[in-house]
Structure 1
Amino acid sequence: MKLKNIIFDFGGVLMDWDPRYYFKTHFDNEADMDFFLKNIATNAWNIEQDRGRTLERGTEKLVKEHPLFEKDIRAYYDNWTTMLRGEIPQNVAVLRQLEGKYPLYGLTNWSAETFPYALEHYDFFQLFEGKIVVSGDEKLIKPDPKIFRVLLKRYDLKAEESVFIDDNIDNIKTAKDLGFATIHVTPETDLAKELHNLGYEF
């Protein structure tokens, strides 16, 4: 079956987001920053906001668990936009080349409260014409197959006709299991070349 649909993850593929961009200025030294991000404001904690927990509830829960870090915890979402450094230019350039040639979709683990900021401030999101599934809205997160099925059903897609692009290997594995072609993005990935290898022409 010929591939036609192209489904993008956002963070790590089109957007450069990292809490370290803010906290390297917040803490006096890197060791304190690393301890905080590995043991207090962890990825596992942040992903629950992506799953639909409100930023306020997530923050208050963590403050209650780690009261000595209250100032640092509250700084997390107060300075979230600083963590969003900007677009990943080489991949966004490929996205722009695909406009009008193939159907484009987004499937992202992202808080429903913070995603609107990115949508407003980065014009390339308009290329998806609203065809974006956001985990925080669905109360589901990748790599759960259910959120992939939400995308397929909502836009009447077939996995076998679609390529899924993500930087997270667990999400890639789920997509493969569901029948998608996949591209696992790393800093070394030549996205245009990978798409050409799958038969996309642009």
Structure 2
Amino acid sequence: MAIKAVVFDFGGVLIDWSPQYLYRTLIPDEAERRWFLTHVCAMDWVIQQDGGQTIEEGTAERVAKFPEHETLIRAFYERWHEMIRGVLEDGIATMEKLEAANVPLFGLTNWSAETFPYAWENFPVLRRFRDIVVSGRVKLVKPDPAIFAEMMTRIESHLPGIQPAELVFIDDNLKNAEAATSLGWHGVHHTDAAHTEAKLRELGLPV
């Protein structure tokens, strides 16, 4: 079946986001920083906020568990914007090639509902998608099949009758790409733009 739409993840594909950018300045020692981002403000904790828990609740829970690191914990969301370097130009270039070929584009991102407005205001490229599912707003996170079902419903409202096999999903997280594939989509694990574009060409897309 021909591909009729492409769904993009944002962080790591189109937006350059990493806690390292902030915490390299706050915790210069690499081993200490790695421990903090693995055990205190770890990704499984971030996912809780991406899934709808408020930043206030998430921060309070971490501070209660690690009171000796309160200042560093509070910095995570108070200075969250310092974790974003900007857009990833090669990912944007891939998106623009698809856009130029009139391929319908959608967004599916694990992102806190409270921090997403900053990205929306500062990165106009996000406004070029036909629809975006933000995990924090729907209180579901990838790789849960339910968030893909929500995305599918949104896409169908724009493209009635579309089938999973007519969709590509691009994500820098392998588990998320595999989750899409297990649902009948074409999941593409994004490691760099060259490999992603090669895969898209294999699927018949003009990039």
Same fold (TM over 0.5): yes
Residue 119 of structure 1 pairs with residue 120 of structure 2: yes
Partner of 1:159: 164
Q: Given that residues 165 and 186 in structure 2 are in contact (C-alpha distance below 8 angstroms), is that contact kept between their aligned partners in structure 1?
A: yes
Q: What is the rounded CA distance, in whole Å, between the counterparts of 1:62 and 1:189 in structure 2?
A: 39
How does the TM-score come out when normalised to structure 2? 0.93
Q: Given that residues 90 and 193 in structure 2 are in contact (C-alpha distance below 8 angstroms), is that contact kept between their aligned partners in structure 1?
A: no
Residue 181 of structure 1: CA displacement?
Answer: 1.1
Runs of 4+ in 1 over 6 A off after TM superposition: none
Residue 191 of structure 1: CA displacement?
Answer: 2.9
Change (3 A) 1:188 1:92: closer
- What percent identity do the matched residue pairs reach? 44
Measured on the aligned residues, the alpha-carbon RMSD in Å equals 1.3
Partner of 2:68: 68
Residue 189 of structure 1: CA displacement?
Answer: 4.1
Q: Given that residues 108 and 135 in structure 1 are in contact (C-alpha distance below 8 angstroms), is that contact kept between their aligned partners in structure 2?
A: yes
Matching of residues 188-199 of structure 1 within 5 Å: 189-199=194-204
Partner of 1:128: 129
Q: What is the rounded CA distance, in whole Å, between the counterparts of 1:25 and 1:189 in structure 2?
A: 32
Partner of 2:37: 37
Q: Given that residues 91 and 191 in structure 1 are in contact (C-alpha distance below 8 angstroms), is that contact kept between their aligned partners in structure 2?
A: no
How does the TM-score come out when normalised to structure 1? 0.95
SS in 2 for 1:155: helix
Residue 188 of structure 1: CA displacement?
Answer: 6.6
Matching of residues 1-202 of structure 1 within 5 Å: 1-99=1-99, 101-129=102-130, 131-156=131-156, 157-187=162-192, 189-202=194-207
Residue 194 of structure 1: CA displacement?
Answer: 2.2
Q: Given that residues 8 and 106 in structure 2 are in contact (C-alpha distance below 8 angstroms), is that contact kept between their aligned partners in structure 1?
A: yes
Residue 154 of structure 1: CA displacement?
Answer: 2.2
Q: Which letter maps to 1:66?
A: F
Residue 30 of structure 1: CA displacement?
Answer: 1.7
Q: Which letter maps to 2:78?
A: D
Residue 54 of structure 1: CA displacement?
Answer: 0.6
Q: What is the rounded CA distance, in whole Å, between the counterparts of 2:121 and 2:195 in structure 1?
A: 27
Q: What is the rounded CA distance, in whole Å, between the counterparts of 1:187 and 1:60 in structure 2?
A: 37
Q: Given that residues 96 and 124 in structure 1 are in contact (C-alpha distance below 8 angstroms), is that contact kept between their aligned partners in structure 2?
A: no
Q: Mark the runs of 5 or more structure 1 residues left unpaired by the alignment.
A: none
